[in-house]
């Protein structure tokens, strides 16, 4: 789908002032102004994020939960961590379990099986936890909508502490304590924490309380060692990499790059990673492998990998996750092909939303397929399959549409729903599907105008070929970590001549382009459907990066889009 390019040159006065005040390059000054990072305090916090800038945990309302956990530790009560089967949930589970192991707690964990149990707390799991001696249950990355399950926990004599980061419903569960930066009246400044970030904040407060209570008999746990888990979970959950998340992930990537954790070392090895680890490598290599085992098998294997302290066991588990990821990729490709064919044959793209259902689609990959549909058609997309209780599936959104609010408009058709602005899960009876299709399309149309359905590409800085050098790449690297909320710089270069163009790997575009006397190689992933002819003149939207091949290192342009040059 052709994107509308949007480029507005940054305010030249502000650019000049940044250059004068800080001595920044022209590129860096332009980029900061484009991101509205201009005041000295903003500039310092963005370019030099530090753990000392983190807000105090007391702002998150942790006191009641911390006091109950301290009592559990004193009385040797058994604590269960109740996680989720995605990367955010498994990293958060491993984070808390390892901390409690380090302080000598009676600790265990429970991860629901995606296919057999579904998302979040369930009554049967709580009964099993009670039978296994559990007294305190701490959820991570789930539980904020578990109203009836919280009542079951109370009846069983379990003290339920919910830690979550999903959108809070109007009625909260009557748990012992609820920790969620998004609940009404919460004054914590980090609303966009991932589930693993909320769990980490619980540990900050808990360690301080244990220190004050004199419970540490030896060396107290170093929380910095857990930041590799925080970084992996935050990036993989696509939490915005701004504010608190940027600080946690920036520091966490440093720990991850040198991690001594056998599980992550083995996972990096099967993912082809060595040395420094960047955010995109977590997003596209490490995260999918942890996710895959929860999508197709049992997410507990992911937790076991992260907690493993045995190198041989870690390597075997990493191979299992790698094999699950390969299987996931094959499933995703086939279901995406079927979904796209269905859209074309039934002319579904004429609507303002896509809702697709097929009873035998694997529930573990419908969320990824929904993302593929958004990429192709740029419409809010829901992909459904059947389970024993009816239909269930995942939704993905486009810019400007809050999925949770749109689904709330359709609540009469749904059994259950929840999630985030851009991603959500839902379930409904099969007989309500037709009504839900109409209701959801109405909800989308009521919130979006015609212009919202045209995807746009926002460009940061216009450059000439002379500006593409090693100094520029070093500056771009200093702006990491990149992700949602802090996307990679997107550069514009006009009127290049195409020297070579071809498709590689069936769907990727490979170019060689010339700007004056300089030539660059360019690679555009998934752009093979649109190939410019040799000798044509084109504009490029791109990110410059290093390319290493056979011991040679050169600058390559990672192509995001191209268009015919108008000059």
Say how far apart CA 192 and CA 179 lie, in whole Å: 13
Crossing angle (nearest 10°) for helices 12-22 and 40-47: 70
Whose structure tokens read 């074309």?
344
The yes-or-no verdict on residue 67 having pLDDT over 70 is yes
Instruction: Tell me the average pLDDT across 217-234.
Output: 92
Instruction: Tell me the average pLDDT across 242-262.
Output: 96
pLDDT digits (tens, 9 = 90+) for 360-376: 999 889 999 999 999 99
DSSP 493: E
DSSP 60-111: G--HHHHHHHHHHHHTT-EEEEE--SSHHHHHHHHHHHHHHHHTT--EEEE-
- 220 pLDDT band, cuts 50/70/90, is confident
- 388 pLDDT band, cuts 50/70/90, is confident
Residue 199, phi then psi, degrees to nearest 5:
-60, -40
Instruction: Tell me the average pLDDT across 319-334.
Output: 94
Instruction: Tell me the average pLDDT across 121-141.
Output: 96
Distance set, CA 109 to CA 67, 90, 125, 142, 166 (Å): 20, 10, 11, 14, 21
Distance set, CA 291 to CA 96, 274, 295, 532 (Å): 19, 21, 6, 36
Helices (H), 346-466: 366-377, 403-409, 433-447
The pair of three-digit structure tokens given for residue 16, joined into one six-digit string: 């000049």
Residue pair 171/147 in contact (Cβ under 8 Å)? The answer is yes
The yes-or-no verdict on residue 94 having pLDDT over 80 is yes
Please give the angle made by the CA atoms of 541, 526 and 382, to the nearest 5 degrees.
105
Say how far apart CA 20 and CA 24 lie, in whole Å: 8
Instruction: Tell me the average pLDDT across 73-95.
Output: 96
Residue 137, phi then psi, degrees to nearest 5:
-120, 125
Residue pair 248/450 in contact (Cβ under 8 Å)? The answer is no
The yes-or-no verdict on residue 567 having pLDDT over 70 is no
**Residues whose CB is less than 8 angstroms from the CB of residue 326 and which lie 6 or more positions away in sequence, other chains included:** none
Q: E strands, 270-380, where?
A: 354-357
Residue 427, phi then psi, degrees to nearest 5:
-145, 155
Q: Are strands 381-387 and 107-110 parallel, antiparallel or unpaired?
A: unpaired
Residue pair 235/214 in contact (Cβ under 8 Å)? The answer is no
Instruction: Tell me the average pLDDT across 262-285.
Output: 94
Tell which residue, 55, 35, 56, 57, has the closest CA to residue 46: 35
Cβ-count burial of 56 within 10 angstroms (0-12 exposed, 13-18 middle, 19+ buried)?
exposed
Which of the residue ranges 43-47, 157-161, 423-427, 503-507 has the most confident prediction, judged by mean pLDDT? 157-161
User: What pLDDT is stored for residue 24 in this prediction?
Assistant: 93
User: Residue length, the chain?
Assistant: 567
The yes-or-no verdict on residue 294 having pLDDT over 90 is no
pLDDT digits (tens, 9 = 90+) for 157-192: 999 999 999 988 889 999 999 999 999 887 898 899
Give the chain's mean pLDDT: 93
User: What pLDDT is stored for residue 1 in this prediction?
Assistant: 67
Say how far apart CA 413 and CA 424 lie, in whole Å: 16
The yes-or-no verdict on residue 2 having pLDDT over 80 is no
High-pLDDT (> 90) share of the chain, %: 84
Quote the distance between the C-alpha of residue 351 and its chain's center.
28
Stated as kind and residue range, the H or E segment containing 153 is: helix 147-156
């Amino acid at each position: 789908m052709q994107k509308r390019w949007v480029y507005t040159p940054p305010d030249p006065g502000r650019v000049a002032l940044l250059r004068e005040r800080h001595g920044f390059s022209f590129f860096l000054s332009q980029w900061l102004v484009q991101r509205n990072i201009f005041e000295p305090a903003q500039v310092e916090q963005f370019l030099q994020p530090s753990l000392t800038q983190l807000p105090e945990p007391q702002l998150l309302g942790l006191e009641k939960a911390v006091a109950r956990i301290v009592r559990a530790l004193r009385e040797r009560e058994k604590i269960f961590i109740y996680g989720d089967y995605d990367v955010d949930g498994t990293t958060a589970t491993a984070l808390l379990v390892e901390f409690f192991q380090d302080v000598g707690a009676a600790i265990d964990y429970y991860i629901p099986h995606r296919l057999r149990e579904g998302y979040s707390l369930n009554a049967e799991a709580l009964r099993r936890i009670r039978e296994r001696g559990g007294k305190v249950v701490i959820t991570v990355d789930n539980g904020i909508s578990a109203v009836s399950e919280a009542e079951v926990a109370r009846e069983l004599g379990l003290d339920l502490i919910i830690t979550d980061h999903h959108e809070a419903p109007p009625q909260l569960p009557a748990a012992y304590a609820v920790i969620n930066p998004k609940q009404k009246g919460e004054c914590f400044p980090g609303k966009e924490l991932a589930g693993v970030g909320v769990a980490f904040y619980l540990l900050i407060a808990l360690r301080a309380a244990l220190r004050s209570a004199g419970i540490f008999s030896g060396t107290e746990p170093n929380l910095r060692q857990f930041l590799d888990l925080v970084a992996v979970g935050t990036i993989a959950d696509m939490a915005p990499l701004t504010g608190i998340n940027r600080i946690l992930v920036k520091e966490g990537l440093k720990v991850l790059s040198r991690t001594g954790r056998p599980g992550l070392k083995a996972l990096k090895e099967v993912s082809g990673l060595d040395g420094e680890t960047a955010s995109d490598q977590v997003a596209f290599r490490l995260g999918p492998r942890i996710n895959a085992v929860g999508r197709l098998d049992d997410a507990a294997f992911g937790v076991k990998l992260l907690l493993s302290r045995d190198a041989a066991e870690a390597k075997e588990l990493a191979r299992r996750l790698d094999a699950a990821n390969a299987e996931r990729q094959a499933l995703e490709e086939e279901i995406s092909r079927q979904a796209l064919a269905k859209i074309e044959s039934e002319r579904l793209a004429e609507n303002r939303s896509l809702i697709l259902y097929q009873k035998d689609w694997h529930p573990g990959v419908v969320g990824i397929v929904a993302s593929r549909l958004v990429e192709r058609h740029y419409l809010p997309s829901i992909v459904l399959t059947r389970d024993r209780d009816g239909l269930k599936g995942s939704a993905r959104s486009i810019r400007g549409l809050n999925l949770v609010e749109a689904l709330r408009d359709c609540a009469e058709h749904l059994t259950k729903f929840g999630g985030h602005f851009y991603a959500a899960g839902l379930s409904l009876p099969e007989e309500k599907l037709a009504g839900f299709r109409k209701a959801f399309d109405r909800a989308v149309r009521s919130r979006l105008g015609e212009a919202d359905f045209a995807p746009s590409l926002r460009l940061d800085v216009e450059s000439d070929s002379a500006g593409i050098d090693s100094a520029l790449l070093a500056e771009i690297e200093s702006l990491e970590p990149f992700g949602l909320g802090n996307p990679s710089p997107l550069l514009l270069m006009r009127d290049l001549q195409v020297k070579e163009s071809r498709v590689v790997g069936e769907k990727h575009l490979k170019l060689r382009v010339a700007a004056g006397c300089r030539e660059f190689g360019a690679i555009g992933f998934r752009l093979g459907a649109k190939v410019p002819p040799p000798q044509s003149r084109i504009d490029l939207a791109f990110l410059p990066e290093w390319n290493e091949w056979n011991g040679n290192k050169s600058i390559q342009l990672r192509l995001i889009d191209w268009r015919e040059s108008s000059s």
